[in-house]
Structures are given as C-alpha cells and as structure tokens.
Amino acid sequence: MRKILVIDDEQNIRRMLTRVLSTEGFIVKEAINGLEALKRLEEENYSLVLLDLKMPGLNGIETLKKIREYDINLPVIMMSAYGSIPEAVEAMKLGALDYLIKPFDIEELKIIIRRAIKQYELKVENIYYREEEEKRFNFEEIIGKSNSINKVLEMVKSVSPTPATVLITGESGTGKELIARAIHKNSLRKNGPFVVVNCVAFSLNLLESELFGHEKGSFTGAIVKRIGRFEMANGGTIFLDEIGEIDFSIQTKLLRVLQEKEFERVGSSRSIKIDVRILSATNKDLKKEIEDRRFREDLFYRINVFNIDVPPLRERKEDIPLIVEHFIGKYNKILNKKVKEVSVKAMELLLDYNYPGNIRELENIIERSMIMAKDEIIDETYFRFINNERRIEKKGTLKEAGKELIIKYLIQNKGNRTKTAEILGISRRSLQNKIKEYQINL
C-alpha cells in the first residue's frame, strides 16, 4: 500500500488531506513540522510527500533540503497560502515536483499525486533493475547449454555493442524480455535507462500517450503534462514488447521516431529530439500481418535490422534440468523453503511435457509445486496434472483442445484472466478472443 506523508502545521489542512487521500486508497501519515517529518521518513518508506512552505522552526525549504539528502528521487509537492515566486523557484531548483497555492483543486491534486507516484515507482524500478544487472547479469540469467540457446547468446553478444534495432521473435513465455535486457546490459548504453512498454496492455489512446506523452489539456482528463516512455528512455534503450499488437496509426508515428529520431507529444506541434535504441518483440508472424494489412511493411524493415528468434522450450528440453534447478533456487529464497531437487520420476514428467506456455509455464509449475512441497525433494505426485494435459494434447491440436485447457486454467486461477493467459503462453487479448469464440461463461 502506498504511503503519503503530509507535513503542515495547520491541523485542518492535515485532516482534510488525510481524509481525501485515504478515500483514494493511500495510507496517510501526518507531521506538524519538519523535524517530526524527518523522523517519520527515517522510520518508514513513503511514495510521496506533501510539504507546506511556511512552518515554524524548520521551514519548508529547509525541510526539502533534508528530504533530498534522505532520498533524492522521492517526489515532493510544495504547498503554500502565499504565491511567492522566488520561493517557488528555489523549491523547484531543489527538486520539488510541483508548487501548489492554497486553496488548491482537490481533483487536480489527486491526478498530480498519482502521476508523481507512478513516475517515482518507474524510476525506482529502473534503478533496481540496473543495480541487479550490475550485480548478476553476465548472461547467467539466460539458462541453458543447448545448441539452440548458445546460438541465441552468440547473436546477443554480436549485436549488443552495435546501434542496430533488434526484433526478438518467439512464442510467449520464451524469455524475449530477458534477451532484450541482455542486449541493453552489454551495449554502449548500459548506463542509460532501460524502459519497457507492453504494447498490448494499453488501449489505442492510452498507448499513444504512454509512448509519446501529452500536453496539459490535449484531451479529456489530461489535466497535467505527461512525459512519455520515449523521453524517459533518452540516452538508453526502449523495449517495445508485443509490437505486433499496436494500431496502424501509432505505427506511423513510431516509424517517424525510427527515421527522424523525433516526435511530438499528444496535443503539441513541437518536435522533441531523442537518442534512443529501439528493441522490439513479438510472438506474431509480422510478414503475415503485413499481408493482412495490419502491420506496415516499412516499419517492419526498420525494426527488423537484426532478428533473434528465441526457440520454444520444447525444442531445447536438454535445458530443462538446469532451468528447474534455477527456479528451485529462486523460490527457495522467495518462499523460505529448503527444496534441493525434483525426483527422477518427477523430472521424467517435466521432460515429457511440451510446455505451450514455455519457460513462464515451467516457472509457474515449479513455484506451485514448491508452495505445496513439505520435503526437500519434490516427487512426481506434484506433477500429476501434467499427465492430464498430455492426454488433452493427444486428442488433437492445441486449438481443438483449447476450450478444455482454458476452462481448466480459469478454474485453477479463480477466473483471473491475466494469470491464465500467462500460463497458456498467449496475450490477454488473445485469451479474451478465445473465451468469446468458445462461448466460455465462468
């Protein structure tokens, strides 16, 4: 749950903000002055600070300086009943995100807070990934010794130091984002940001704003200016996952970014120059999408300067024991377990299965078995459901058995369509289409 710290010597302001923000789902803590606020910041982690400018003792500017020493990235919104321009300028120079004059519009404040927290969390996530990659990423996260995965690694090593755009293809769940991260980490841009956009997760209007940003007032609900993912990725790499799902109109704008290295925010005519390397991924046959007039041919050739095709797990089953060992180690830490291995018979079941959801599905299988495991060795009883799925496969094609599989996983995941799509190795949109096609009502 996200926490907000309200710092104001006026009780009625603190109470009002606590009441309003609590109804929005935030945990709100109060401080009556700067010293109390700094103590609270030492005790707990916060997602945002609302800070009054005029306070007795440690004033707002002095408190802001101390907060910046505590966490340089923590978003701080200044509040004041006085419209002092010099103090507002000083606050912004010290890193305040915004400066609001009391009485302020509550609805606008809510929007500013949510946007600020989202950007903060994205920044923290990028810092986390960068630190984690510095500590551990030397290709060891791409598990396997098979010829097919070794060929992929050789391609990654070859293309990483170049400026080439890369299209990573392969079925869902094969680890395409992991390949993209490896390319970025071993590139000349490794110290720049790595920004991920899942193109299927947004509607048409939201995706355009997410990628390119928007100006205040550019459409209904655009109360504040927003920085897009391309600007966030400036100097680094942007990874466009599920690029085959984006709308034709956005493809046109994306083509211009690739050609001219510039774009406009939604609602603006001012061009913004950027220096970004673009990596893309898809589980679709983009050549077929071009034939069906759903994907621009010129964009395809721009993003497909270098292609890396990630093999499905069923084509590199010799890697399964190593991958299982990796996931056991991972979930021992997460679940506080002491599992050593799977039994011989259990491994035979794992090796005999075809994994329509690829590595993501194998990870779900291992996680689920470790949640249930009571011993140091996981035996075949935890994987009996695999036999049921193999029988389904033998009845016919995956498409013919699709309804039975979808119903099974929907029930197993208590109707959660996102989790069901992940296990099946398809996008949530594809799952929705199949549910409609098969007339499944759960």
Q: Which fold has domain 314-437?
A: Helicase, Ruva Protein; domain 3 (1.10.8)
**314-437 shares the fold of 144-309:** no
What is the pLDDT, as a whole number, of residue 205? 72
Q: CATH homologous superfamily of domain 144-309?
A: P-loop containing nucleotide triphosphate hydrolases (3.40.50.300)
In this prediction the pTM is 0.60
The ranges of the chain with pLDDT < 50 are: 135-137, 392-398, 400-401
- HEC string of the chain equals CCEEEEECCCHHHHHHHHHHHHCCCCEEEEECCHHHHHHHHHHCCCCEEEEECCCCCCCHHHHHHHHHHHCCCCCEEEEECCCCHHHHHHHHHCCCCEEEECCCCHHHHHHHHHHHHHHHHHHHHHHHHHHHHHHHCCCCCCCCCCHHHHHHHHHHHHHCCCCCCEEEECCCCCCHHHHHHHHHHCCCCCCCCEEEEEHHHCCHHHHHHHHHCECCCCCCCCCCCECCHHHHCCCCEEEEECHHHCCHHHHHHHHHHHHHCEEECECCCCEEECCCEEEEEECCCHHHHHHCCCCCHHHHHHHCCEEEECCCHHHCHHHHHHHHHHHHHHHHHHHCCCCCEECHHHHHHHHHCCCCCHHHHHHHHHHHHHHHCCCCEECHHHHHHHHHHHHHHHHCCHHHHHHHHHHHHHHHCCCCHHHHHHHHCCCHHHHHHHHHHCCCCC
- Taking only the tens place, the pLDDT of each residue in 296-353 is 999 999 999 999 999 999 999 999 999 999 999 999 988 888 999 999 989 988 998 8
What is the pLDDT, as a whole number, of residue 395? 45
What is the pLDDT, as a whole number, of residue 99? 86
- Taking only the tens place, the pLDDT of each residue in 252-263 is 999 999 999 988
What is the pLDDT, as a whole number, of residue 275? 92
Average pLDDT of every residue of the chain? 85
Q: Which fold has domain 3-119?
A: Rossmann fold (3.40.50)
Going from N- to C-terminal start, the domains of the chain cover 3-119, 144-309, 314-437
